[in-house]
A and B are shown apart, each in its own frame.
Chain A
Amino acid sequence: MSNTVPRLSVRDLRRAFGGIIAVNNVSFDLAADHITGLIGPNGAGKTTVFNLLAGSLAPNSGTIAFEGKPINGLNASTIARRGIARCFQSAAVFRNITVRDHIVRAGYLKAIGRPLDLLKRRSLAGYKKAARDRAEELLDFLELRHAADRDAATLAYGHQKILGVGMALATQPRLLLADEPAAGLNPVETTEMTELLRRIRYDRGIDVLLVEHDLRLVMKLCDRIIALNAGTIIADGPPNIVRNDEAFITAYLGADHAP
């Protein structure tokens, strides 16, 4: 199935804020088993595309299908339960809770996604057990085991971001949306994050859609790059092609983002 139906299929997506058209008739398909980079200068509409995909914003028009099924108009939580995860800048939300427990909670929250789910006590216990097992495995995968028992709020910034990715992974997604995962990280942490994203794609088989201003990282990591400017796609293809695309160079490298 995954050979014929794209993981994500976006058609004529459009969203305006007052007079500003943040996303203007954007269409693309994401084939399964890819890391795709979404790049563009500040204000190009990248975050807005993510918000539309994740259901935090409703599009003005256009359709989004995930594995062949339409998801536009669904709310964020339903989309999350369908298998699209999104990682946040800082993930330490719960008070006085360890890193491990953050991952455990992230793993079973979707089992109580709706109030009525609270009544299914029996199956919930099973879910929690599974979430705990998964958390142990994820702690190793994220290389956060050394910090497993620390209060998540006391983690260094780089580790907070890794925890953010880890909590997204705990929901067992098939597509991960990562908005600037390397922003604010030092070079060592950036390398760690790059490695982590690569392993998410190759070891776990989870597709990644990545927004990142660090072009070197994007070019190195992604199979495909979609360049956005002023809400429209100006280039789309493998990194070496997009790198030499004229529209891309004027729009993007003309700004002060040259690698």
Chain B
Amino acid sequence: MIRRWSFVLSVATLLAYLLIPLLINQIFYTHLAILIGIHAILAVSVYLMLKIGQLSLAQAGFMGIGAYASALLTRDVGIPFEAALLLAGVIPALIAGAVGPLLMRTKGVHFVLLTFAFGEVIVLTFVEWTSLFGGNNGISAIPPASILGLQLIAPSSFLILTVIMLSIILLCCHVAFAGDLGVVVEGLERNEPLQSSLGVNALAYRCLIFSGSAFIAGLSGSLYAHYLSFISPEAFGFWTTVNALILNVIGGAQFLMGPFLGALLLAPLPEIFREWVHYQRVLYGVALLLLMRGLPQGFLGLILPRLRWGNNR
């Protein structure tokens, strides 16, 4: 019963999130809604990793891979947007699948540090490989998104695409975790040695989740690139991942809707208070600190039992 209600509530929230900006019909609100969607998708990719009890700081890097892949494939190779969007997920997923067995041998703090470094390497590659990625100048004149020949130039049409993508991702995660994958993942996060002794290949599953999270991060990158039509390396650095993590913490990372809720609350702030951006940074940090102190059993307390940090090696 509770499950059904939370499902109805989630759908209602998503619909309201789509319809309100469309009804207000002002570019600024549509713009905010699109940013919320893109941030929420990246935050979901962080959420997937939290679900197996690991924090990956490479997620913005995967987003960047998706963004550059999608941008270059549509602009220079000329493949259609639909295919580029798919590849923007597949390419980071393959990369994560390739490095996963190496990185995922470590857990806890070591995994955090390795993914941090890996994320930095991805950004450095964008900076350094100027001939392909344009260095610090990035890539511009990225063609707008188009679905079935329909160009999504109007922000409202792009918002619809973003909301559809977000909904599909949320629904896929919901369905996957409601089934056997959910059983395996819960066991992995709570008692991996026991789960292995029952015949579950923990490493393979953790790599699967890592790949899946990279796939989702890549999709958010593609949307980002085609919405702004311009990308540069610094958008995919460490702080972007941290931001996505914060969305999870604020929204409540024990729910699939947590990251979306966090994005809804926080993603618009930098756009609304543009001139105050430095002050906002400080406030943001102070708010995070107070939240951590004041609600240890609150938002964060709810995700902590999911995270197994006792054993670092």
Task: State if A and B touch, Cβ cutoff 8 Å.
Answer: yes
* Contact, CB under 8 Å: B183 / A88: no
B109: CB under 8 A from chain A? no
A81–B204 Cα distance when bound, in Å, is 15
* Contact, CB under 8 Å: B180 / A118: yes
Interface size class on chain A is 20 to 34
* A103-116 interface bits toward B, Cβ cutoff 8 Å, 1 = contact, 0 = none: 00110011011110
A110–B195 Cα distance when bound, in Å, is 9
* Contact, CB under 8 Å: A56 / B183: no
Given A115-B205, A115-B208, A93 and B197 contact (CB-CB distance below 8 Å): no
Q: Which of A78, A93, A114 contacts B194 (CB 8 A)?
A: A93
Smallest CB separation, A48 vs chain B (Å): 14
Chain A, Cβ-Cβ closest to B183: A105
* B157-199 interface bits toward A, Cβ cutoff 8 Å, 1 = contact, 0 = none: 0000000000000000000000111011011001101111111
* A55-76 interface bits toward B, Cβ cutoff 8 Å, 1 = contact, 0 = none: 1100000000000000000011
A56–B197 Cα distance when bound, in Å, is 9
B291: CB under 8 A from chain A? no
Main secondary structure of the interface of A (DSSP, over half): helix
Chain B residue numbers with a CB within 8 Å of A95 are 186, 190
A95–B184 Cα distance when bound, in Å, is 12
A160: CB under 8 A from chain B? no
B247: CB under 8 A from chain A? no
* Contact, CB under 8 Å: B181 / A94: no
Chain B, Cβ-Cβ closest to A83: B199
Smallest CB separation, B128 vs chain A (Å): 34
A–B pairs, 25, beta carbons within 8 Å: A56-B193, A56-B196, A75-B196, A77-B198, A77-B201, A85-B197, A88-B194, A93-B194, A94-B183, A94-B187, A94-B190, A105-B187, A105-B198, A109-B183, A109-B184, A109-B187, A110-B199, A110-B200, A112-B200, A113-B200, A115-B201, A115-B205, A118-B179, A118-B181, A124-B180
- B residues near A, CB below 8 A? 179-181, 183-184, 186-187, 190-191, 193-205, 208
